[in-house]
Structure 1
Amino acid sequence: MSAAAIRPTTIKIDPTTKERVKRLADMRHRSPHWMILEAIRQYVDREEKREAFRQAGINAWNEYQATDLHVTQEEAEAWLAQLEAGQDVEPPACHV
C-alpha cells in the first residue's frame, strides 16, 4: 500500500486499555501502533468471515424455502461418518 493511500485516524481509548496495549507491545517488541493496527485487521478479517458465513446461511435458507430440496439429519450424519472414516464419498442427493 502506498504512503498516499494510508490516512491517519484517531481512536479514543481509556487509560487502562492504553496501558495494557503498551505493556503487551513492549513484551512483543512491537509498537503500540502496530498492536492496535494488527488488532483492527484481525477483527475485520474475523467479522468479514462471520458475515460471509451468515450470508451463506441466509442464502441456503432462502434456497430451501424456494425449492424445498434438503437432506435429512440422518443422511447428513451418515455421510459425515463415512468422510470421518476416510471414505471419499459423494454427499447425499437432495430431495423434497
Structure 2
Amino acid sequence: MESDMTAALIRPVAIKLDEVTKARVKRLAEARHRTSHWLMREAITQYVDREEKREAFRQDTLRAWDEYRSTGLHVRADEADAWLAELEQGKDIEPPPCHK
C-alpha cells in the first residue's frame, strides 16, 4: 500500500539536456543496466542529499560564528589539534575548555 501512495505522489518533470549530455546519460545507463530515467533520478537525489548536508554545515558554521561574536568563547588551534590527536588515537577525552 505504501508504494501505491508513493507512486501517487510522484509527478513527471521535464528537463532539457543538450545532445552530448543526453548521449552520455544513455551510455552510462546502458553500462549500468538501468534506464536513463533511473540514472537521472538517482543523480538528482544524490545531489539534493549532498547539498542539503552542505547547507546544514554552512548554517551550523554561521551559528557558531554568531555565538563566538556574542560570547568571545574560543579554543586555541593548538589545543584543538592536541584534542583531535587524542581522539584519533582512540582516547575518549573531553574537549579543551573555552577561553574568553
TM range, smaller chain: over 0.9
The structure 2 residue matched to 1:44, chosen from 30, 42, 48, is: 48
- What amino acid does structure 2 have at the position aligned with 1:91? P
Alignment partners' CA distance in 2, 1:13 and 1:75: 51
* Aligned equivalent of 1:69: 73
- 1:57 matched to 2:61? The reply is yes
Alignment RMSD: 0.9
Identity, % of aligned positions: 65
How far does residue 53 in structure 1 lie from its aligned partner after superposition?
0.6
71-80 or 84-93, which moves further after superposition?
Answer: 84-93
The structure 2 residue matched to 1:87, chosen from 55, 78, 91, is: 91
Alignment partners' CA distance in 2, 1:11 and 1:27: 22
Ranges in structure 1 where 5+ consecutive residues have no aligned partner: none
Deviations 1:47-85 (A, max 9, x none): 000000111100000000011011000110111111122
Ranges in structure 2 where 5+ consecutive residues have no aligned partner: none
- What amino acid does structure 2 have at the position aligned with 1:45? D
- What amino acid does structure 1 have at the position aligned with 2:65? W
TM-score if structure 2 supplies the norm length?
0.92
Please identify runs of 4+ aligned residues in structure 1 that moved more than 2 A.
none
How far does residue 87 in structure 1 lie from its aligned partner after superposition?
1.5
TM-score if structure 1 supplies the norm length?
0.96
